Amino acid sequence: MNDPREPALRLQGIVKTFPGVRALDGVDFEVMPGEVHALLGENGAGKSTLMKVLAGMYQPDEGQIIIAGQPVRMTTPIEAKAQGVVLIHQELSLVPEMSAAENIYLGELPRRSLGRVDWKTLEERSNAILTRLKCKFRAEVTVAHLSIANQQMVEIARALTVDARVVVFDEPTASLTDAEKVVLFDIINDLKAQGVGIVYISHRMDEIFTLSDRITVLRDGAYRGTLTTAETNEDEVTRLMIGRSLDLSRNEAPRDFGKTMLEVQKLTCPGLFEDVSFSVRAGEVVGFYGLVGAGRTEIAETLFGLRVPDSGEIRIDGEPVAISSPRDAIAHGISLVPENRKEQGLVLQMTCRDNMTLPQVQNLTTGPFVSQSAELAIFDQYRDKLAIKTPSWRQSAGVLSGGNQQKIVIGKWLSMQPRVLIVDEPTRGIDVGSKSEIHQLLRDLAAQGYAVIVISSEMPEVLRVSDRIVAMYHGRIMREFTIDEVTEDSLVQAISGIKTTEAA
């Protein structure tokens, strides 16, 4: 159906400016039919803007969009879809109360006479698409009841209702488990085999090397080059992306721990986690590794007073403590950098400074008034310490890049001088450059004597920052490793629930 020699889509010299920012500066990009073309760049490099141009949400100031040899103008996503360009959003855009079928054909439900919905055709067609995607659920099911991975399938199914020439995946694996990723990759390969051009945006190097045929790198809104995946390596791509090489090593810091800061005994919250016991010493980073839903975040939330445990004991600095609210946790020196920085970590319209001082603003006073100088002192200290890039403390947190937002949240909790710092998925959705900065930061904190818990679903991350690794499966601790004894195989086995012979 598509001419294989002609690019399915070509962008030429795309320029897009916003007040004060040149978001895209003459970007070229093309995707051939049946090709997976990865688009890489740090946060703020211009990927999202480029995708919005592609999807008809932004109009380029200069440059051309050429689809199947014809220059086109797309002023709405509907026009883009009519041209066969479909975007699978990073944040799902489904109506949770509706069925999968209704979502798939949202806006173009098949009709019978008098405008009534033709439910039978709707469900037949939807089920046909879901079958093509090898989905195990039926189109009649309500979307809210589906897992995130299956919701994403619905989103993909929606893209397939049109004769798609180009499908754009924007960070599709951010919330998928490894097994779900495999299914997604199969689908992408199927689409590819059917001659669809795929644009794949991700921060995850391993995925890009598994999936893509070519890689185009953006940096600071400018085109930095296109590489053939088979002829390049991670190092070259990273250098192109951040302008220097990346450290991919395992944590080898000398281990010199202080006393036990946090001790958890038989902590149980039925249905979430059971019989969880572990400890963290001063100067130590303990990594919690496991699949999404293994109960790691729930343990963190319990330690931070957001959930009430059924039984078990928490000791801080040797003293048993009762924690029934975040205020209690804070008073006992526990800080939590939560999993989802936009929803749980930041008040997006507040200034950077106000976000950072929020947990202690009531203590930063002269008389009844908040002391601006005390606040600024804290902000300046942690802006410098964490190398936060923001033009001013007045900037609202919402406009910063993901990496800088995360640093604001980390700064907010470091400024509380915690005895135990819990960090949940510290680098989710963050570009490679900021990622390694945050890893280094976590190591530095340990060196300064903080007791740190890092929850992560990424094995390289856990290996890079931890002194000890706790592997969890279905709400239970399966095994504990020191960084010296751990192997990737044993870790994978432990988090998949496979009992190894040496495990107790």
Residues that bind another protein (CB under 8 A): 17, 19-20, 56-57, 76-78, 304, 306, 325-327, 329-330, 336, 338, 343-350, 354, 358-359, 361-362, 364-365, 368-370, 412
By C-beta, is 79 or 213 nearer to another protein? 79
Nearer to another protein, 261 or 334 (CB): 334
3-state secondary structure of 208: helix
Nearer to another protein, 188 or 337 (CB): 337
CB of 436 to another protein, least distance (A): 26
Distance of closest approach, residue 129 Cβ to another protein, in angstroms: 23
Q: State the minimum distance, in angstroms, from the CB of residue 45 to another protein.
A: 22
Q: How far is the CB of 160 from another protein (least distance, A)?
A: 20
Nearer to another protein, 326 or 460 (CB): 326
Left, alpha or beta for 7 (phi > 0: left; psi -120 to 50: alpha)? Answer: beta
Considering the complex, state which of residue 229 and residue 351 has its C-beta at the smaller distance from another protein: 351
Distance CA 60, CA 40 (A): 20
Distance between CA atoms of 168 and 156, rounded to whole angstroms? Answer: 10
3-state secondary structure of 17: strand
- Find where tokens 């988090």 sit: 495
List CB contacts of 465: < 8 A, sequence separation 6 or more.
251, 285, 287, 439, 442, 443, 454
For 32-110, list the strands marked E by DSSP.
36-40, 62-67, 70-72, 85-88
Distances (CA, A) of 292 to 1, 99, 296, 337, 424: 40, 25, 8, 17, 12
Q: 């391993």: which residue's tokens?
A: 206
Which residue, 208 or 414, has its beta carbon nearer to another protein?
Answer: 414
Q: Compute the distance between CA of residue 200 and CA of residue 38 in angstroms, rounded to an integer.
A: 4
Rounded CA separation 189/184 (Å): 9
Give the nearest distance from C-beta 417 to another protein in angstroms: 14
User: CB-wise, 17 or 395, nearer to another protein?
Assistant: 17
Characterize 116-133 residue by residue with b for buried, 16 or more Cβ atoms within 10 angstroms of its Cβ, and e for exposed: eeeeeebbebbbebbeeb
Strands 319-321, 311-316: parallel, antiparallel or unpaired by DSSP? antiparallel
Nearer to another protein by Cβ, of 369 and 501: the residue is: 369
Compute the distance between CA of residue 3 and CA of residue 9 in angstroms, rounded to an integer: 12
Q: How far is the CB of 20 from another protein (least distance, A)?
A: 8
Judged by beta carbon, residue 52 or residue 474, the one nearer another protein is: 52
The answer to whether 388 and 410 are in contact (CB under 8 A) is: no
CB of 159 to another protein, least distance (A): 16
Provide the minimum distance between the beta carbon of 338 and another protein in the complex, in angstroms, as a whole number. 5
Nearest CB to another protein, comparing residues 285 and 334: 334
Q: Which is nearer to another protein, 141 or 348 (CB)?
A: 348
Compute the least distance from the CB of residue 74 to another protein, in Å: 11
C-alpha dihedral over 272, 275, 281, 282, to 10 degrees?
Answer: 30
- Alpha-carbon distance of 20 to 391, in angstroms, equals 13
Label residue 328 exposed, middle or buried (CB < 10 Å: 0-12, 13-18, 19+). middle
Closer Cβ to another protein, 61 or 236, answer by number: 61
Tell me phi and psi for residue 282, to 5 degrees.
-60, 140
Q: CB of residue 358 vs another protein: minimum separation in angstroms?
A: 5
Least distance from C-beta 364 to another protein, angstroms? 8
- What's the CA angle centered on 50, arms 48 and 53, to 5 degrees? 110
Q: Are 349 and 355 spatial neighbours (Cβ–Cβ below 8 Å)?
A: no
The owner of tokens 């080059």 is 225
- At its nearest, how many Å lie between another protein and the CB of residue 326? 4
